[in-house]
Amino acid sequence: MKRLTQQDMTESEQRELKTLLDKARKAQGRELTNSENNRIKDDYIDTLMAEKEKVAARARAEKRRNKAVPSTSATYDWTARTHPRGRR
């Protein structure tokens, strides 16, 4: 999965990032340096990407499970005659 950028984030995610930056600025009592800003952004983006990857993995697993379940409405079971890796 490619790295998430601020432009790719939803509006609520962007607001959450801004809130985190404001909280950190208030905790420091001064403006944050570029490296502090970037560290906070990178940490937040990493957590977002991890969450999205978990959701995507669950969706892939669900799709795989649904793919393996034979259709009850089918009149002929094709999987009985075809090898899963195909003919060679």
Put simply, whether the predicted model's pTM sits higher than 0.75 gets the answer no
Q: What is the mean pLDDT of residues 62-85?
A: 70
- Do the domain assignments include residue 86? no
Quote the number of domains for the chain: 1
- Do the domain assignments include residue 29? no
Low-confidence winner among 10-14, 50-54, 67-71 (lowest mean pLDDT): 67-71
What pLDDT, on the 0 to 100 scale, is given for residue 87?
64
44 band by pLDDT with thresholds 50, 70 and 90: very high
What is d(CA 63, CA 78) in angstroms, rounded to the nearest whole number?
Answer: 19
Quick check: 53 pLDDT over 90? Answer: yes
What is d(CA 7, CA 34) in angstroms, rounded to the nearest whole number?
Answer: 19
- Do the domain assignments include residue 57? yes
What pLDDT, on the 0 to 100 scale, is given for residue 82?
66
Question: Rounded to the nearest 5°, which phi and psi values hold at 43?
Answer: -60, -45
Instruction: Give the range of the structural domain holding residue 57, as residue numbers without chain letter.
Output: 34-66
What is d(CA 72, CA 5) in angstroms, rounded to the nearest whole number?
Answer: 44
Could you tell me which residue, 11 or 78, shows the higher pLDDT?
Answer: 11
What is d(CA 3, CA 17) in angstroms, rounded to the nearest whole number?
Answer: 16
- Do the domain assignments include residue 52? yes
Q: Which residue has the tokens 């409405």?
A: 73
Q: Which residue has the tokens 């790719």?
A: 8
Quick check: 18 pLDDT over 80? Answer: yes
